Amino acid sequence: MAGTASPEFGGSGRAGRPSVGVLALQGDIAEHVRALESAGAAASAVRRAEELDRVYGLVIPGGESTTIWKLIDIFELAEPLRKRIADGMPVFGSCAGMIMLADRLPDPASGQQTLGGIDMTVRRNAFGRQVDSFEEDLDIAGVEGGPFRAVFIRAPWVEDVGPGVEILATEPGAGRIVAVRQGRALATSFHPELTRDWRIHELFVEMVRDGA
C-alpha cells in the first residue's frame, strides 16, 4: 500500500502468527479476539485507519449493523476499509458483519450503507427478533470434522448471490443461505465466535496466510 508500511506476520511479537484485526467499534469484539488467538492468529483491535494498515486480515463482528455503520462513518473508516477490501485483504463478517460485506441490502435503515465485497443481497434480521434466536447443526463446505453448531441471533440471511460466490452452508429449516465465500471474503449469518469451536476462524486464518 502506498504510503504505509506493510503488515508483517508476528507483528505482535509471536513468530508465525498472522496479524488479524477485529473491527472494534461495536459488537462481539472480545469473543472474536479470543477465537482468532485460539485459531493461531495474532489478534488486535482496529478502530483507526493506521491500525488497519498493520493487519493482514480483518474480522467484522456481529452486533448492530446500523450502529457499526454510524461508527465507521464517525471514525472515517469507510473509504480505508473499502479500499483494503477491494485490494484483496482477507475479511470475515459474522451476522452484522455479513450485512456490512453485502453489495446489496433490500431493506437498509435510513442512511445505512455497507462496505461491500461480496456479490450478494442480504436481508437484515431475516430470521426474526432476539426472542427468535436459535441454534442449528450445519454442514459447512470447507470445514471438516462434522457438523458445526451455529448460533443465530437476530440473524440475516442471503437472498441471492452472484456467479462468483460460493455457497458454503444453508440453514436446514428455512433452506436459506447462511455462509458464503467470494475470493478472500467470508461471511456467516451466525456467530461462530460465541462457541468454543474454532474451525471457521481456523479457515479464515488460513485464508489470511494464503493471501499474505
Known catalytic residues are 95, 191, 193
Contact 103, 119 (CB under 8 A): yes
Beta bridge partners of 179: 169, 188
Compute φ and ψ for 132, nearest 5 degrees: -95, 10
Which amino acid, residue 24?
A
The count of C-alpha atoms lying within 13 angstroms of the C-alpha of 73, restricted to the half-sphere facing its C-beta, is 11
Cell of residue 61, nine digits: 463482528
Contact 57, 91 (CB under 8 A): yes
- DSSP code per residue over 34-66: HHHHHTT-EEEEE-SHHHHTT-SEEEE-SS-HH
Cell of residue 197, nine digits: 469451536
